[in-house]
Structure 1
Amino acid sequence: MGRVVLEKLLDSGIDVLALARPSSRSAMPTRPGLAWAQGTLDDADAIGKAVRQTDAAMHMAAQHDFHMQKLDWAAITAIGQALEGTGKPFIATSATPVYGHTGDEPRDEHEPVEHPHPLRTFRLQHDRFVIGLRERDVRGVVVRPPLVYGRSGGFLVTLINQAIEDRTARTIGNGTNRWSTVDVDDLADLYVRALLAEDAYGAFNAGSRDVVSMKVIAETIAQSFGPKIPVGSWTEQEACARLGELMALMSLDQHVSSERARSELGWNPRATTLIEDLSHGSYRLAPLVPYSH
């Protein structure tokens, strides 16, 4: 996701100073308007130095392990401190599981969030911190994507590889839970719009109008990456033991409304649907990009 947002920013004529781990710096792309700084999410000095050289900050990095909460807090507090008193924007990244089970009715951004998922309660607290930076003269924006797909990447690759390895595409339970979805290019467009809209503030859901069940995703993976891959199921405990805590989140209903982004930012997702992309799009035409942890 970060690389696609970076591409969209540069294509929009916006110069970017991007942060990269020292170990990965040699693999980073080079383009006019792009400069690199070295640092990690818990390197407050490197983050602060980079942010103070810029007119805005974006945070999309995550480490999906037991360090995730600590590292995310370190990054957002360092960015907030560097921007304090400047009036500049800070665009941070959350995710729709902060709402917990949404049920059948699409969930918008209103507060309070009554039942956040236990694995993402910290994320909701971090969202509120970023939005609350308004009191310190920082324009805080939080983007909440649902299931991100496209460019043969994202968490779908984990599900595809699991199905190929086990010769069974799996759901958690009966798989009737549904997720709002967003193509990574449409999502990147939302980040740029949130940056450029001078009055954009607060939380924005980032889902297209396409909502799909996990059962249909599993069936499409079985058909597209077979032959002879049946659809089976796991319990939540089995899924977490095999693929980690992110699988617990995949058992949620995640139906969200993104009308605020459409009405206030003019955002209009245009990409092909997740099922179309899985069936005959990027996931079939390009090498799969491993999901990064």
Structure 2
Amino acid sequence: MRILVTGASGWIGSASVTELIAAGHHVLGLARNDEAAARIERLGAEAVRGTLDDPASLRAAAARAEGVVHLAYNHDFSQMAAAAQTDRTAIDAFADVLQGTGGPLLIASGTLSLAPGSIGTETHMPNNATHPRLANAAYTLGLADRGIRSVVVRFAPTVHGAGGDHGFVATLAKIALEKGVSGYLGEGRNRWPAVHRLDAGKLVQLAIDKAKPGTVLHAVAEEGIATRDIAMALGRFLDVPVGSIPDDRAAAHFGWIGMFFGADAPASSTRTRELLGWAPTQPTLLEDIAAGRYAGN
């Protein structure tokens, strides 16, 4: 199958491209510039030019494919509403092309805010008011009624691995070095799910090959790691002390990540594993930290 992948040169996208090619698909990677195009071609995919804020380029790229994996997103927290609207416009562009074909349209979402204080499952529907992007996932699922094999993959908030991760844990490592302490909030019992980027890429491939229309999947290898354990692992590797940060100092110590790191947000992938036969095999988050994947630089 010819599959268009947005975010193909990125952290999860590059792993997904590799898995899709290994499974026999011809991958078209959306590239916004020469540098992205070169990275995509090194993966063995075909680079096609386009950007998320140019719907015409998205429709043209999707017209060359039989399905779309939409992973690109602007994660600027200062422009959440605008980013979500750009994402919705991109989804509409892909849906216009795929309508009535039965082809897959897979988009990325997240597991945060599913079921605070309990274990979020694939059947939980998030409160769309918590983040404007969440409504796009619900909208995409409804595209099954338009003859599109719509799939939503909710990724764990930490997608870890070797090289290139600029997400939550990399940010925590930088903060630990800057502040001289690897911190956690309160007692640090709140749980944080995680998945290795290579396992996540494999799930994307399986979803393209097997998932039915209107399916929600969880890219979660570890249901919930106590944030105190994450802080301790970072402290050991970075050789800084580990300590509790009072809740009222979360923003001052952690900055923007403080609003997320204090959440108790475990998530299950039991149904995903049963549906697709997905079985994560890569190192755990704590193993990656111990191996030096997060040196804080």
Task: State which of 23, 32, 38 in structure 1 corresponds to 2:49.
Answer: 38
Distance 1:98 1:50 in 2: 33
- Unpaired runs of at least 5, structure 2: 1-11
For the pair 1:54 / 2:77, whether they are aligned, the reply is no
Aligned match of 2:245 = 233
Distance 1:214 1:202 in 2: 30
Distance 1:247 1:54 in 2: 41
TM-score, length basis structure 1: 0.86
Distance 2:269 2:178 in 1: 36
Give yes or no for contact 1:240–1:248 (8 Å, CA) kept in 2. no
- Structure 1 residue 36: Cα displacement: 1.1
Aligned match of 2:7 = none
Give yes or no for contact 1:170–1:234 (8 Å, CA) kept in 2. no
Q: Note the 1:208-247 alignment, pairs <5 A.
A: 208-226=221-239, 228-233=240-245, 235=247, 238-239=250-251, 243-244=255-256, 246-247=257-258
**Change in 2 beyond 3 A, CA 1:277/1:112:** closer
- Structure 1 residue 200: Cα displacement: 5.7
Aligned match of 1:176 = 189
- What do residues 4-59 of structure 1 show as CA deviations (whole Å, max 9, x unaligned)? 11122222232111112136446524247511122221210011111111011001
Q: Note the 1:29-108 alignment, pairs <5 A.
A: 29-31=40-42, 33-65=44-76, 66=79, 67-101=82-116, 103-104=117-118, 106-108=119-121
Distance 1:174 1:266 in 2: 36
Distance 1:184 1:198 in 2: 20
SS of match in other structure, 2:176: helix
Task: State which of 161, 184, 199 in structure 2 corresponds to 1:186.
Answer: 199
Read off the aligned partner of 1:275 and give its amino acid letter: L
- Structure 1 residue 249: Cα displacement: 2.4
- Structure 1 residue 203: Cα displacement: 0.8
Aligned match of 1:142 = 152
Q: Percent identity between the aligned chains? A: 29
For the pair 1:4 / 2:20, whether they are aligned, the reply is no
- Unpaired runs of at least 5, structure 1: none
**Change in 2 beyond 3 A, CA 1:203/1:52:** same
**Change in 2 beyond 3 A, CA 1:198/1:215:** closer
Distance 1:3 1:32 in 2: 7
Task: State which of 251, 259, 262 in structure 1 corresponds to 2:273.
Answer: 262
- Structure 1 residue 216: Cα displacement: 1.0
- Structure 1 residue 196: Cα displacement: 0.5
**Change in 2 beyond 3 A, CA 1:94/1:240:** farther
Instruction: Provide the alpha-carbon RMSD of the alignment.
Output: 2.4
Distance 2:108 2:270 in 1: 18
Distance 2:246 2:85 in 1: 30
- Structure 1 residue 118: Cα displacement: 4.5
TM-score, length basis structure 2: 0.85
Aligned match of 1:164 = 177
How many residue pairs align between the two structures? 279
Distance 1:276 1:94 in 2: 25
Q: Note the 1:266-277 alignment, pairs <5 A.
A: 266-277=277-288
- What do residues 40-83 of structure 1 show as CA deviations (whole Å, max 9, x unaligned)? 21210011111111011001111111132122212212111221
